[in-house]
């Protein structure tokens, strides 16, 4: 490694809770590349417009979710003209999230003996982000990477001569975009060992004099400047909040961002819809009722409680989509990331609902021409896919009938990177009635 390619280290912070690796993809599905390829031969996005939010709810901070959801959707549509592509492949070809590469590296028997509550994402979080394969998957996600690239390079006026902080820099791609946009200096922070390769990458691209890489926990890092002008970070996880990297971005914002500074991206909205997914429910959940003639239904309850991260065929969507969480990164607090939001989903056809699906959109709105991206089933594939919450029993709906309820989310008490999610469901339909049905899930 050349002398001018320095990695500053805070060795005491390595492996400690809250350390940021800059990437959140330890649960990447084994055959995601094959399913991503399958997206290349369908109809264009424009044939499947994302269902607009139809219900207005306030989050814990009192902000109007629908207002910002509309702004984010407008931004994603601007970018969507660039990303028009096929609709997502059918979820029936997908594997459960439990088959992730990180779990194959020592956690493949997760939950098999009934003591799964003792094992969390913390067990595989740090090592998995040191592997180049996870970074390869993210970099090849063009929706993700090119949206960041356009947001930065098309807004040089926000970066020229400015000091930038890259929180969870990974391979350093966002830091180098910032240098291309004219940043005077970038401080790139990450706790994973991938930062050593990032240092070489920065050196090999002739940017060592304008990028300082710091290995350590963001909360423990002391920058050699009193403040920064811009914070860039790709912090989003599955279900938007999985792995709690946003908490670290907010801590960096509060400590290092100068008054009037900008967080990139600055807005995120999460949505909920309901789908028919009987085939995959039989394969993933009901499978445990009869395994080679044996009753293994004890594992059915375990399977139901773990959300599945996978691609959802847009043809399976039965209801409209409604916003359940709005995040303004310029002013939100860590408390806003624990939420309970009511929802009202209207059936668009007669069908059975087997699961609820969450997805999110992110936007850069403090720029000349707002832009963003969506992880909706109706949009081009991203490595975030969608998050599926299976129900024990299906809900039989007719067109126009409404499923109401509340979805709540908070960090797990034992490991804040995991999420405890609860659904409370009510339905009064022609063929089915549900009163205060409660279901709990844990995303890990």
402 is catalytic: no
Q: How many other C-beta atoms are found inside a 10 Å radius of the C-beta of residue 323?
A: 29
234 tagged catalytic: yes
Q: What is the CA radius of gyration of the chain?
A: 22
**C-alpha span between 376 and 379 (Å, rounded):** 5
| Calpha distance 324→24 (Å, rounded) | 22
Cβ proximity of 163 and 185 under 8 Å: yes
In angstroms, the CA 115 to CA 246 distance is 29
Helices (H), 181-290: 194-204, 245-256, 278-284
Q: Which residues contact 76 (CB under 8 A, 6 or more apart)?
A: 50, 361, 363, 371, 372, 373, 374, 379
Catalytic residue among 63, 136, 234, 399: 234
Asked if 87 contacts 50 with a C-beta cutoff of 8 angstroms, the reply is no
Tally the residues of the chain: 444
- Among candidate residues 137, 243, 276, 306, the one labeled active-site is 243
3-state percent breakdown (helix, strand, coil) of the chain, nearest 5: 30, 30, 40
| CA separation, residue 406 to residues 271, 322, 439, 443 (Å) | 13, 12, 11, 18
Give the tokens for residue 423: 């659904």
The set of catalytic residues is 234, 243
């Amino acid at each position: 490694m050349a002398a001018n390619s320095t990695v500053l280290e805070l060795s005491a912070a390595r492996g400690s809770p809250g350390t940021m690796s800059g990437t959140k993809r330890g649960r990447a599905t084994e055959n995601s590349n094959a399913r991503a390829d399958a997206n290349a031969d369908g109809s264009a996005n424009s044939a499947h417009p994302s269902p607009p939010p139809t219900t207005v709810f306030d989050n814990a901070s009192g902000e109007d979710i629908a207002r910002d959801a509309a702004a984010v959707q407008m931004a994603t549509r601007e970018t969507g003209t660039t990303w028009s592509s096929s609709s997502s492949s059918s979820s029936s070809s997908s594997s459960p999230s439990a088959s992730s590469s990180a779990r194959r590296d020592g956690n493949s028997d997760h939950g098999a003996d009934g003591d799964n509550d003792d094992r969390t994402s913390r067990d595989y979080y740090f090592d998995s982000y040191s592997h180049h394969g996870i970074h390869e998957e993210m970099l090849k996600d063009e929706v993700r990477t090119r949206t960041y690239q356009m947001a930065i390079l098309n807004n040089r006026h926000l970066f020229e001569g400015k000091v930038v902080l890259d929180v969870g820099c990974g391979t350093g791609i966002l830091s180098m975009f910032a240098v291309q946009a004219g940043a005077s200096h970038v401080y790139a922070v990450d706790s994973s060992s991938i930062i050593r390769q990032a240092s070489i990458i920065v050196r090999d691209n002739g940017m060592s004099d304008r990028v300082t890489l710091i290995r350590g926990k963001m909360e423990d890092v002391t920058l050699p400047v009193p403040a920064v002008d811009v914070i860039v970070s790709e912090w989003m996880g599955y279900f938007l909040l999985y792995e709690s990297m946003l908490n670290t971005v907010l801590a960096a914002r509060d400590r290092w961002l100068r008054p009037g500074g900008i967080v990139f991206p600055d807005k995120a909205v999460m949505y909920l819809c309901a789908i028919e997914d009987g085939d995959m429910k039989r394969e993933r959940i009901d499978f445990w009722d009869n395994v080679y003639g044996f009753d293994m239904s004890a594992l059915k309850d375990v399977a139901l409680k773990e959300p599945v991260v996978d691609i959802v065929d847009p043809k399976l969507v039965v209801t409209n989509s409604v916003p359940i969480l709005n995040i303004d990164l310029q002013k939100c607090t860590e408390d806003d990331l624990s939420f309970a939001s009511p929802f009202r989903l209207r059936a668009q056809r007669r069908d059975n609902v087997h699961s609820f699906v969450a997805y999110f959109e992110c936007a850069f709105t403090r720029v000349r021409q707002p832009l963003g991206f969506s992880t909706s089933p109706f949009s081009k594939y991203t490595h975030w896919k969608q998050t599926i919450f299976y129900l024990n029993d299906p809900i039989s709906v007719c067109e126009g009938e409404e499923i109401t309820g509340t979805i709540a989310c908070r960090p797990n008490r034992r490991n804040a990177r995991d999420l405890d999610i609860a659904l409370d469901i009510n339905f009064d339909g022609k063929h089915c009635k549900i009163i205060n049905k409660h279901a709990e899930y844990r995303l890990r």
